[in-house]
A and B are shown apart, each in its own frame.
Chain A
Amino acid sequence: MAQTSVDAQLTHIAAALDQIETTDADALDQLRTSLLGRKSGALTQLLRSLPSLEPAERRQVGKRANVLKREIEAALEARGLALARPTGAVSDQDLTMPGRRRWHGALHPLTQVIDEICGIFRELGFSRTVGPEAETEEYNFTKLNIPLDHPAADMQDTFYLKPHVVLRTHTSPVQARTMERHEPPIRIVVPGLAYRRDPFDASHAPVFDQIEGLVIDEGVSFVDFKAAIDYFARRFFSADTAVRFRPSYFPFTEPSAEVDAQCQICGGDGCSACKQTGWMEIMGAGMVHPAVIENCGLDAERYTGYAFGMGPARIAMVRYGIPDIRMFFENDMRFLDQFLD
């Protein structure tokens, strides 16, 4: 047998590889038989004819034929599997039908906002701690430099549980509790509930979330305070949000400030949400009053710091456009379903 003829046969058989890839199930068996059939398979016959060739040619053709045989076997196998696999592409299947869903749970929107806020302060090295909701007057007022016989005590209408025991009107008592238990440097955020005798309406709840922050160390200054709060506001809202510090008064901070962020609804042009001011109050804050530091047993000449308090509910209402604070407590599944991760 001339070599050219053997070459032609090999080329011819190799062409079947393309055919295998597109053939259907019935034709696949025929193709297998015609190529590899024990009696009349084209490749079988070619291999059988090898002994009749010259030794040199035999080695070369034999090598090529065996490679081809493996390729054909693999192709037949793969095609067979592909044909056996359920395709789903059955002609009468409507793939626009809805997929199978599972229920999802979600964190409460207030928790999401609280976690995000605490997370930003964690970037600035704050740890997260808590304190009791029922407090003594001493921790809620006196240690925080709020004398009960001063009008400053009227800034918060208080629920009493028994004489000298109150539901905390802010998370600030945790400032005192932390200063008494830990040596500076202190950097904490304190999420938790606070209570005030405000009737439940669209913008007030008698029980509400607050996040307290406290930093106490040597050499902490008003510049550090501004930088931290500015960092927070820009991280929470957006990098180009303007932040404004306004002098204010809280008995436990001095200098005190109210911090405003550029109104997130009108962008600072003035709208009904920001009472036309273009600003949105986000927290009360300031340098910790030396009297508070002294009341907690630390040296106010040596240690300074700053503190802040904010209401995540109000921030969440602005962020999500929620008109009524009561919706946070109704636990309507259709409401909660809107805050999936």
Chain B
Amino acid sequence: MYASLNWIGDMLGRELDAADTARRLTMLGATVDVVERVHEDLSEIVVGLVERVERHPNADRLSLCLVDAGDGGGSVEVVCGAPNVQAGTKYPYAASGTVLPGGLKLTKRKIRGVVSNGMLCSARELGLGQDHEGIMALSTDATPGTPLLDVLRLADTRLDIDVTPNRPDLLCQKGIARELAAVLGEVVKLSPIAGAATVALAPRRAEAAGHVGGIEVRLDDTDGSPRYIAAVIEGVEIGPSPQWLQARLHSIGTRPINNVVDATNYILHELNQPLHAFDLRNLREGALIVRRAARGERLRTLDGVDRTLTPDMTMICDGKGPIAVAGVMGGADSEVTDATTDVLLECAYFDPKRIRATRSALKMNTDASFRFERGIDLEGMTGAVRRAVELIMAVAGGREPEAALDLYPHPAGQTTVFLRSARVAHLLGVEISRGEIERHLTSVGFTVAPRDDRMAVQVPGWRPDVRREVDLIEEVARLHGYDAFPVEMRPFRPTTVPDAPSELVAARIRRMLCALSLHEARTMPLGPPVGSEPQEVLNPLSADEAYLRTALLPGLVRSVEGNWAAGVRDVRLFEIGRVFRASSGDQPPDETIRLAGVLTGAREPGHWMGSGSGGDLDLWDVKGMLEEAVRVAAGPGTRLSPNGNGGWDVQTSGETVVGEAGPVDADAPPWAGPLFGFELDVTARPSEGGGDRFMPLPATPAVERDVALVLPPGVTVAQVEDIVRRSAGPLLEACSVFDEYRGSDLAGRSVAWRLIFRHPNRTLRDAEVAKAEKKVLAALREELGVERRES
């Protein structure tokens, strides 16, 4: 929303400083995003007085003018091509070196052999209008050299204001002025219309039908339009608007069109009352009806598009059919044209919800629909229509044969909201006196009356957002100034809400994987469909982003490929995020929290002495990481089992697969290392309490036994370990694999184990260890055919 500093200043009867105004409005909630000078590109143009006009010696159509531009350096010669140049008249003058709007820089140059020092300008050259018939004569007393901007009062500042959707009243100059008036202690007064000779008649109230200017007006759809005012003006002459009106529209970024349209736009921006002008002669059968559209009815709107209408939409119709989509856009056939002489002016209130549904069904967002949707001032309509009629008569001539017809069958009562000053103090945390509360509220148009211990506050029509007590408290806080409230830390009570277990688990996993040298990654949850039962997005941004992820690994693999594409070979990433699975019916999809990781490239950074453990990350690195992740995040009894694809499944004690790991396919350059990945469901389980407990350190010595075992084909280390732990008895503290040997001399492979025995209370005797070892070997031989390797 653009505000003009001049326009608002006129309403307040004072000059406004742009920066100060912007700051005040921002601190009132009307954030000023941009402050820009209007027509700043004309700042170098001055008033030039043509003292003498002669024929150009070498060209019939050119004249040679002597121009006083007031810079004290005497008059200069300017070549001019305009037929209307006259001695003794003042024109806009641009000296050599001036940059004209549009970027043209004037240089001193010879025209047909005579040097021209600058240029006398037309309105079009200055971006002030379409008139290119001749240079722009200035009727002014200003001395030559006076800046043009001062003479035309074009110098204005435009504020670009971010108006929040609850404040339709701020969508016009008067609303902005009202806010400023409250903080500046001024009164808002509309400036008189230049040249307005006639005062418009007071509108006549009627129920749902009546006549005006020979037209029958009928309000059938009072839900869609609770109030409809029609005024008729006869004998207007369509043409360009006067300079002041064009300048006003320019200042808020609106292009002038013709006097009638400009007048309606002026009222729109001044009072936030959208108006529509119909050509009276195009109203067939002399009728205007406001009604719901019939099913399948059609209308070609102003933008040339044929629209199909539904009964949910309110239409303006004549005796034959629809001529406008109420509150959204007019039809192509009823518009005001250059030939129009009689106008029916519509000043209506349309239901915000109806307008919102209509414009969204028709996909038309117009200036009018934007305002109706937010709610206009139901009480300010008669004032607006009178001012509009006066303005049209002032700028386009014509007369009002009959007072406007105001169809308002069910007048809405005043809205009253009760306010307790105790509640103000309770919510805002500081006492604000009743007198001050009253002063704040009345400063922006509320009326306050005492009602027992409360205040009965009447809400003005332009504030449809104020409907309950808290709305008034916000007004008080806003006008009191948010800055005026102290920053004061007061006691508070501790929260009853525990930390989410999933956040605690995620933090532990993150710490652990960072320590294992993985970087945390973030990938997009939206992508192409992957996996089973992906959840589709009904309105995706693109087909590539039309599904929610069912797994994290694909995104991470894309990130690895991105790194490869950038020439990065060593990539270690993990992510914790949500994945989704479509659910039936109207339920949201199922969400689970997953952990995934990818690794490729060197196990350690290169070093000039040769890297310690050397080589590329491999299958055993990814298994190790997965084991760590399972330790931190999965329930007890969770284990890894080979999945037949060269990797592992993670299975719970209940045999549910909750994760996997192994080699991963990717689009890899030849120099890349092998890529491995893992993914694991880490949806936090309810806390099991307890946690890790301290184990006393052993006070007795351990006995280590290294045993090489020959495993026949098909026998796994997991099977062996199972039997070792089962058969060794209570003295076995730990067992682990420390070597594997495969050779043609063996039927199978040799796996070397280290068994650690310990008694909790005393030193072990050799015989005890030998006995346990013997039992292990016997069990292995019997159950798996595993023998000790003879060296």
The interface of chain A, by Cβ under 8 A from chain B, is 97-98, 100-108, 110-111, 115, 124-130, 132-136, 149-152, 154-155, 159-165, 167, 178, 182-188, 191, 193, 195, 197, 199-200, 206-207, 215, 217, 219-224, 226-228, 230-231, 244-249, 254-258, 275, 287, 289-290, 304, 328-334, 336-337, 341
A98 touches B541 (CB 8 A): no
User: Which residues of chain B have a CB within 8 Å of any CB of chain A?
Assistant: 26-29, 31, 33-34, 164-167, 353, 356-357, 373-374, 426-430, 468, 470-471, 473-474, 477-478, 482-483, 485-490, 492-500, 502-503, 507, 510, 513-526, 535-541, 545, 548, 556, 559, 562-563, 566, 568, 570-574, 577-578, 580, 586-589, 591, 604-605, 607-609, 612
Q: Which of A100, A247, A255 contacts B607 (CB 8 A)?
A: A100
CB distance from B270 to the nearest CB of A (A): 22
Do A161 and B499 touch across chains, with their CB atoms under 8 A apart? no
Q: How many A-B residue pairs have CB under 8 A?
A: 268
16 contacts between A and B (CB under 8 A): A103-B517, A105-B514, A126-B495, A129-B498, A149-B353, A151-B374, A160-B539, A163-B586, A183-B496, A185-B496, A207-B525, A223-B486, A247-B478, A331-B573, A333-B568, A337-B519
Contact: A103 with B356, CB < 8 Å? no
Q: A152-B166, A331-B559 are contacts. A164–B586 as well, Cβ < 8 Å?
A: yes
In the bound complex, how far is the Cα of B491 from the Cα of A187, in angstroms? 13
Do A129 and B607 touch (CB < 8 A)? no
Q: Which residues of A contact B430 (CB under 8 A)?
A: 221, 223
A105 close to B513 (CB less than 8 A)? yes
Give the distance in Å from the alpha carbon of A341 to the alpha carbon of B470 in the complex. Answer: 46
B517 touches A104 (CB 8 A): yes
- Kindly state the separation between the CA atoms of A16 and B524 in the bound complex, as whole angstroms: 76
Choose among A185, A244, A255 the residue that contacts B478 (Cβ–Cβ < 8 A).
A255
Residues of A close to B28: CB separation below 8 A: 247
For B525, list chain A residues within 8 Å (CB). 133, 193, 195, 207
Q: Is B562 a contact of A331 with CB atoms below 8 Å?
A: yes
CA distance A329 to B556 in the complex (A): 10
CB <8 Å contact, A149 and B495: no
Most buried by B among A102, A162, A256: A162
Q: Which residue of A lies closest to B23 (CB)?
A: A277
Do most interface residues of chain A lie in helix, strand or loop, or is the interface mixed?
A: mixed
8 new A-B pairs (CB below 8 Å) besides A184-B496, A254-B470?
A: A102-B604, A129-B500, A182-B496, A217-B493, A247-B482, A249-B166, A329-B523, A331-B523
| Whole-angstrom CA separation of A6 from B705 in the bound complex | 61
Known: A105-B517, A185-B492. A206 touches B541 (CB 8 A): yes
Q: When the two chains form the complex, which single residue of A106, A249, A254 contacts B165, counting CB atoms closer than 8 Å?
A: A249
Which A residues touch B474, using CB under 8 A? 247, 254-256
**Distance (whole angstroms) from the CB of B87 to the closest CB of chain A:** 47
Of the candidates A100, A188, A289, A341, the one whose C-beta lies within 8 Å of that of B495 is: A188
User: How far, in whole Å, are A172 and B557 apart by their CA atoms in the complex?
Assistant: 32
CA distance A244 to B559 in the complex (A): 40
In the docked arrangement, what's the CA distance between A206 and B539, Å?
A: 12
Our pick among A188, A228, A257 for the contact of B497 (Cβ within 8 Å) is A188
Please name all residues of chain A whose beta carbon is closer than 8 Å to the beta carbon of B588 when the two chains form the complex. Answer: 132, 134-136, 161, 165
Q: A159 vs B525: C-alpha distance in the bound complex, in angstroms?
A: 13
In-complex Cβ contact of B29 among A98, A111, A244, A246 (8 A): A246
Q: Which of B427, B474, B495, B539 has the most CB of A within 10 A?
A: B495
Partner of A100, one of B165, B562, B612: B612
User: By the criterion CB–CB under 8 Å, are B589 and A330 in contact?
Assistant: no
